[in-house]
Amino acid sequence: MQIVMESDEANSLMSVITSYVIDNAGLSQDGKARVRKWRVDRATGSAEMDALAVAMNEALGTYLDEKTDRQVRRKGRYTRARDAAR
């Protein structure tokens, strides 16, 4: 499985997450202001948002690779892909 998020999709996801954090995390007013500033700094089309989208894609890819349970044939046996890589 491969998941690739575009910058605008990553921005939408981060907007939902930061809104939830602001509303439900019990942050102080200063904490809420910092989260809002962080979100504004990563507006759609900004270099920071593009970098964040790349980092999110790498993290998702790594997570999915670790969870994939494939069988590969090695020397007449079938083993798990992550065991064969070791």
Nearest to 58 by CA among 5, 16, 7: 5
pLDDT in tens, 44-82: 889 999 999 999 999 988 888 777 766 666 666 666 655
CA dihedral sign, ordered 38, 39, 42, 43: negative
Whether residue 1 lies inside any domain: the answer is: no
Query: How many structural domains does the chain have?
Result: 1
The pTM for the full model equals 0.68
Domain that holds residue 58: 7-84
Whether residue 16 lies inside any domain: the answer is: yes
